């Protein structure tokens, strides 16, 4: 089998420059684009329309008081848990947020409340053979999902682990110890090849992939048996019926039990007031997903709940230049993710902790 040619991508220069096939992720501009996956594969029927919610948002823009925060925060403070709200309460809470966000960010922000669709269980598969470590997924995710950015704190839901290919040499053969009692530790014992927990996620090369490395992106595994959900004292984080584990940011008390319980280091805390520049803010949000967060609450990957519930791919899937990321409905035998599970060799990360991730790794 001829070796597949993988594109080398310059990750330091302008992404749209010559020789670089990848366009930079622009969530703000995606509004008019038809969801690619929807027309092509139709793996999901489109959920309820957003028109009502959008109208409220527009109305808020027109009424115009500068002090959006002060106007809405009292009601927000005393609202209940989203999961237990009636449909009216949900709508009320959503319009309240739309008003506040629209004023705060100076654009028409929509907060989607679309529920899970029956017969859908979202799953993800990542081809570690293909990943080139360019971290386009990381950046697209930050822009799509309105994470905080800046010097104080940069939240990234995806981390790409750079894995060493290791170094096994003749010279190290006799470096083990203790020599006189027979070699008990071989000199090549500390080559980190294939050791996931030795992965480095701060690598900054000029070009990827680097010759001596391969890459293993991680993010929330959307476990079927999520330990983070079990430990939450107020059930602010829970598993949605279609799979993603979400956080009700307005209900979170910031105790960080879930951060302690997550075996994949997938959860992030807003240590300070989030910094999200107005012009970069993605106005198409979901209540349980990428709406702007507040300080003192936990957040995490939701598989881009604001996109997937409308038949679109998560941003990371769409942006991946090498097609390493596959996504779909685990209950549909014809979905991409099911085809991967059926035909490829797959494994789950840290399977020994029995959390049953819906995020699979595979090779060709």
Partner 1 sequence: MTTLIKFTIDYVTYVAKGGKQFYLWMGFLALFLIPWAYGNYQQFTQGMIVTGLTDQVSWGLYLANFVFLVGVAAGAVTVVFPAYVYKYEPLHKVTVLGEMLAIAAVVMCLLFVMSHMGRPERLWHMVPVIGIFNWPNSMLTWDTLVLTIYLLLNFVGGFYFLYQKYTGRPLNNSWYLPLIFVSIVWAISIHTITAFLINTMPARPMWHHGMMPIRFISTAFAAGPALIIIIFLIIRNKTALWIEDKAIDMLSTIVVACLTIALFLTMSEVVTELYHPTEHSGGLQYLMFGKHGLNNLVIWFWVSLIALIVGWVLLLIPKVRKNYTVLPFICAVLFAGIWVEKGMGLLIPGSIPTPIGEFTEYSPTLIEISNCLGNWAIGFLILTILLKGAIGILLGEVKQANE
The site for partner 1 (CB under 8 A) is made up of: 77, 81, 84, 152-153, 159, 161, 195-199, 201, 218, 227, 230-236, 251-257, 259-265, 267-273, 295-298, 353
- How near is the Cβ of 256 to partner 1 at its closest, in Å? 5
CB closer to partner 1 out of 241 and 260: 260
CB closer to partner 1 out of 307 and 358: 358
CB closer to partner 1 out of 186 and 227: 227
- How near is the Cβ of 57 to partner 1 at its closest, in Å? 26
- How near is the Cβ of 270 to partner 1 at its closest, in Å? 7
CB closer to partner 1 out of 154 and 167: 154
CB closer to partner 1 out of 53 and 141: 141
Cα–Cα dist 339/332, whole Å: 9
- How near is the Cβ of 291 to partner 1 at its closest, in Å? 17
Question: Could you tell me if 317 and 325 are in contact, meaning their C-beta atoms sit under 8 angstroms apart?
Answer: yes
- How near is the Cβ of 53 to partner 1 at its closest, in Å? 25
CB closer to partner 1 out of 45 and 230: 230
- How near is the Cβ of 142 to partner 1 at its closest, in Å? 14
Cα–Cα dist 99/69, whole Å: 9
- How near is the Cβ of 263 to partner 1 at its closest, in Å? 4
CB closer to partner 1 out of 8 and 196: 196
Cβ neighbours of residue 284 under 8 Å, at least 6 residues apart?
Answer: 27, 30, 31, 110, 112, 306
């Amino acid at each position: 089998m001829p070796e597949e040619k993988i594109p080398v991508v310059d990750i330091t220069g302008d992404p749209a420059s010559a020789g670089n096939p990848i366009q930079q992720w622009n969530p703000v501009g995606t509004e008019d684009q038809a969801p690619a996956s929807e027309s092509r594969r139709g793996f999901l029927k489109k959920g309820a329309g957003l028109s009502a919610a959008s109208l409220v948002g527009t109305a808020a823009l027109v009424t115009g008081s500068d002090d959006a925060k002060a106007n809405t925060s009292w009601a927000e403070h005393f609202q209940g848990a989203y999961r237990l709200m009636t449909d009216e309460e949900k709508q009320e809470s959503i319009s309240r947020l739309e008003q506040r966000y629209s004023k705060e960010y100076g654009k028409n922000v929509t907060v989607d409340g679309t529920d899970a669709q029956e017969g859908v269980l979202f799953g993800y598969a990542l081809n570690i053979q293909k990943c080139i470590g360019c971290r386009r997924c990381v950046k697209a995710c930050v822009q799509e999902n309105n994470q905080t950015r800046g010097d104080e704190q940069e939240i990234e839901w995806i981390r790409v682990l750079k894995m060493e290919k290791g170094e096994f040499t003749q010279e190290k053969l006799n470096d083990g110890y203790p020599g006189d009692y027979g070699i008990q530790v071989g000199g090549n014992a500390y080559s980190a090849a294939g050791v996931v927990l030795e992965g480095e996620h701060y690598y900054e090369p000029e070009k990827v992939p680097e010759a001596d490395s391969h890459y293993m992106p991680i993010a929330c595994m959307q476990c079927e048996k999520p330990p983070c959900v079990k430990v939450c004292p107020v059930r602010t984080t829970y598993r949605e019926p279609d799979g993603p584990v979400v956080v009700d940011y307005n209900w979170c008390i910031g105790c960080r039990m879930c951060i302690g319980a997550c075996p994949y280091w997938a959860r992030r805390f807003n240590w300070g007031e989030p910094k999200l520049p107005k012009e970069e803010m993605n106005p198409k949000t979901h209540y349980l997903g990428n709406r702007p967060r507040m300080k003192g609450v936990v957040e995490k990957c939701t598989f881009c709940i604001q996109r997937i519930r409308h038949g679109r791919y998560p941003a990371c899937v769409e942006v991946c230049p090498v097609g390493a990321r596959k996504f779909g409905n685990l209950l549909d035998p014809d979905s991409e993710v099911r085809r991967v599970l059926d035909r490829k060799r797959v494994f789950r990360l840290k399977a020994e902790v029995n959390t049953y991730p819906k995020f699979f790794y595979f090779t060709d």
